[in-house]
Amino acid sequence: MPVRHEFTGRHLLLTYSGCDPAVLCDPARLLDALRQAVAASGATLVESVSHEFTPAGFTAVLLLSESHASIHTFPEHSACFVDLFTCGVTCDHERFAEELQVALRPTTVERRLIQRDHPSSE
């Protein structure tokens, strides 16, 4: 019989405004900050892909064993969007957000946590 897992997840949506422009314009630093935040959450990094835009902007998506994390920067607005979606309940979304907030130094943080699940059927 196959192993049954609880069908549940949490999706954290963050909007950071008034971020440190030096960080938003440094793709290596951004990717490092995102990786550190993923590690702090307890999630497992599988692979990452990123892209730098001209004249400015950066997008990275980290594939996690638990699902994914992403960042999309808008240096011209000193802002970025960040998502963390994880299946299950073991990852610490608060630690993820705290790590990124330290790295990006936003003046304003908008956050939304969405619980996603489906009643299990027998």
> Residue 72 catalytic?
yes
Rounded CA separation 108/101 (Å): 10
Catalytic residue among 19, 78, 80, 87: 87
Contact 95, 40 (CB under 8 A): yes
Count CB-CB contacts under 10 A for residue 105: 14
DSSP E strand stretches across the chain: 8-17, 45-52, 58-64, 67-74, 79-87, 108-117
67, amino acid identity:
S
Catalytic residue among 19, 41, 67, 93: 67
72, amino acid identity:
H
> Residue 87 catalytic?
yes
Rounded CA separation 95/110 (Å): 16
User: Looking at the annotation, which residues are catalytic?
Assistant: 67, 72, 87
